[in-house]
Structure 1
Amino acid sequence: MNAVVAITKHGVEIARRLGEQMSDVHVYYTNKFAKGDEEEKGIHLFSGNVRLLVPSLFTSYRGLIFIVSLGAVVRMIAPHVKDKKTDPAVVVIDDKGEHVISVLSGHLGGANELTRRIAHLLQAHPVITTASDVQKTIAVDLFGRSFGWVWESDEKLTPVSAAVVNEQHVAIVQESGEQNWWQYDTPLPANIRVYPTIGAALAAKPAAALVVTHRLLTKEEEAILQNGVLYRPKVIVLGIGCNRGTSAEEIETVIRETLTELQFSIKSVKALCTIDLKKDEAGLLEVAQKYGWEFVYYTAEQLNRVPIEQPSETVFRYTGAYGVSEPAAKLYSGSQLALVKKKLGNVTISVAVIEKEG
């Protein structure tokens, strides 16, 4: 949720308007301008200095919208600012509702996006000073975020971002994941070049690199990360079958060992898939929840429609399906399997990689 805060007569009108137009906003304003319908509309009134309200708002909302002077807002939030990865978005609107200014956490906190949204609602002018937005180039800290991509490490975000906005040679290598990541209506900037392989990018000696892959890089390939950011797209699908009562620890160990053998990153796992007989299997549920993976299950009938390489009469006798891990991974991914099937202890695992999308 977001909070919009006003302290003037005109500001209150703007805040009430946003409260009506935005379903994800709570309205706060001084009781000096109460209209009598605040309780009915779920509006929060406060008395005294608005500064006293800021500490609780800063930790309770993902976005703060102030209809207060920019200087006053900067002074109020200064003691609470900690880190761009955790601070809320902060947006300021002038008292006439003519300008909407992105102040804090423009990218990771979503202030730039919130600024554009509010400006559209108020027919106001959005003020965004983030270099990558102004230049219409790649925002390194947001690259692939809308698809669920995650960084392997944030260590090089700042120097790589500097290379992008300073128009240095930046290489992009994408081995997997969604391909429609460039969403401006202008061409990719000339300083950003796409290479088919990490080897080709290294040979071009770029100043920085963005690498998108589910693979674990070799020692030679890791040189690209000297000034590079490695992104993990959500493309790996795990098909899992297991005996009833198999522990989460055993399931997780098999998954980790299998991915290491395949030289795949666990951060690129998207979904754990199985048969509906296992939809309440505690170990599977625990592992999926721990990593935030989708947990998907199919009926025996759905699984039996999928051609598989290693059908099992034994599995059919117990489940009604000729396979669990193999067809489940295929069903979800729509791709061929990187690992058809492996049984280890109480667990059977198959692995698929979703082909490039977009």
Structure 2
Amino acid sequence: MSNPFAAVAITKHGVEMVRNLGASFPGTDVYYMSKFERGDEQEGGIQLFEGSVKLILPDLFRQYNGIILFISLGAVVRMIAPILVDKKVDPAVVVIDDRGEHVISVLSGHLGGANELTRHVAAVLGARAVITTASDVQGTIPVDMFGRELGWVVDSFDKATPVSAAVVNEEPVALIQETGEQNWWRYDKPVPAHIKVYPSVAEASREPFNAALVVSDRLLEPEEEERFLSNGVLYRPKSLVLGIGCNRGTALEELEAGVLDTLQELRLSVKSVRNLATIDLKKDEEGLLALCAKYGWELVTYTPSELNTVQLPNPSDTVFKYTGAYGVSEPAALLSSGAKHWLLEKKKSGNMTLSVARVSYD
């Protein structure tokens, strides 16, 4: 199925509600028992099934991101228990009572998006959203989802459970943000007093804490990992832009090796790369496009005149002769990142030239 959600009903009242939900909640495939067939199901894309809903749940788990069940909570718990795998891969599961009064987030509230799905479905049905996740109820940082809407990725998830416990139990927590978007706090109230925010690991090192949330594009040193990640979670914001120039036909393997080696030398994480930037003459360069496809990066291009608006300390007449720009990687990195300075002005390696800049969040 191409839609992300499946909505399933097994009672007369549930069928009425699931049909309405399917018509008013985009991206939803509707399922109900064939004994409630009305004759318009094929036209409406509704799926009918025979026997117990338990028989189709394994397939629904594999096919959909979220499953909405008009079935009692207890029955749902028993049916899904044997097919659960892990919260990182299980779909969101939401349960609705037979009168449509309560929409309950049951499974994968954060990572699977069940809490968000619960709120949306409740709004459509005019029902009450029931969410029991502690961080949502308390209005604090959801450790397993922190920065996700900003594009941040979790780089160390092993300690997510004890760190979450520290956050919701109001233990001392150090939140170290060295880079990344500043608008991560989503509530109309101050950050809880037990969460102290620091601009660097150096400043946080002098303070006591029980758990840590680290937001950085750096590769932490071993002693930093020991101090902050023994009971901490590391997040990678998309804060780096790579400016690249290359000869026509440069292979993916050479480009990738150059990027990875350079980032390792700079002690920067490849997971924090937001995009590549280059001259528009390279917008169809196969190696660059393959590199972007492999890592999920966007390729941003600029015209020579746009690149020439950046004043370069080392303009190249040779590059200008062939491209019309006095530089490619250096100005492309600054234009795309909005930065005023480079982390790496320029590095020539084989058939490629690489510059690195950190995104400006001012």
Normalising by structure 2, what TM-score? 0.96
1:320 aligns with 2:324: yes
Q: Which residue in 2 is equivalent to 1:135? A: 138
Residues of 2 paired with 1:61 and 1:117: CA distance? Answer: 17
The aligned length equals 357
Amino acid in structure 1 at the alignment position of 2:143: V
Conserved? CA contact 2:242–2:276, under 8 Å: yes
Partner of 1:59: 62
Letter in 2 for 1:105: S
Q: Which runs of 4+ in 1 moved over 4 A?
A: none
Which whole-Å CA distance do the structure 1 matches of 2:273 and 2:199 have between them? 23
Q: Find the aligned partners of 1:211 and 1:257 in 2 and give their Cα distance.
A: 24
| DSSP 3-state at the match of 1:117 | helix
> Is structure 2 residue 351 aligned with structure 1 residue 346?
yes
> Which residue, 124, 130, 148 being the options, matches 2:127?
124
Measure the CA separation in 2 of the matches of 1:9 and 1:310. 75
Preserved CA contact (<8 Å) 2:25 2:124? no
1:272: Cα distance to partner? 0.8
Distance in 2, matches of 1:226 and 1:46, equals 50
**Distance in 2 separating the partners of 1:220 and 1:80:** 41
Instruction: State the alpha-carbon separation in 1 of the partners of residues 111 and 140 from structure 2.
Output: 16
Which runs of 5 or more residues in structure 1 are unaligned?
none
AA of the residue aligned to 1:337: W
SS of residue paired to 2:68:
strand
Write the mapping of 1:220-259 to structure 2, written as runs, cut at 5 A.
220-222=223-225, 223-259=227-263
Cα distance, 1:215 vs structure 2? 1.2
Judge which range, 205-214 or 245-254, deviates more. 245-254
- Tell me which of 164, 171, 174 is aligned to 1:171: 174
Q: 1:138 deviation in Å? A: 0.7
Contact 1:199–1:221 (CA<8 Å) still a contact in 2? no
**CA deviations over 1:212-247 (Å, ceiling 9, x no partner):** 011122333221211111111001000001111111
Secondary structure at the counterpart of residue 109 of structure 2? coil
The residue identity in structure 2 corresponding to 1:254 is G
Say whether residues 1:99 and 2:102 are aligned partners.
yes
- TM-score scaled by structure 1? 0.97
1:234-272 superposed Cα distances (whole Å, 9 cap, x missing partner): 010000011111111111111112112222111100001
Could you say which residue in structure 2 is the equivalent of 1:334? Answer: 338
Shift of residue 154, structure 1, vs aligned partner: 0.7
Write the mapping of 1:1-358 to structure 2, written as runs, cut at 5 A.
1-222=4-225, 223-335=227-339, 336-356=341-361
Q: Share of identical aligned residues, percent?
A: 63
Partners of 2:131 and 2:247 lie apart in 1 by 55
Q: State the secondary structure of the residue aligned to 1:179.
A: coil
The 2-side partners of 1:203 and 1:306 are apart by: 40
Cα distance in 2 for residues equivalent to 1:167 and 1:49: 44
Q: Structure 1: how far apart are the matches of 2:198 and 2:305?
A: 43
Contact 1:309 1:340 (C-alpha < 8 Å) held by counterparts: no
C-alpha distance in 2, partners of 1:268/1:351? 12
How far residue 90 of structure 1 moved from its aligned partner, in angstroms, is: 0.2
Which is further off, 61-70 or 288-297? 288-297
SS in 2 for 1:173: strand
- What are the ranges of 5 or more consecutive residues in structure 2 without an aligned counterpart? none
The range that moved more, 298-307 or 136-145, is 298-307
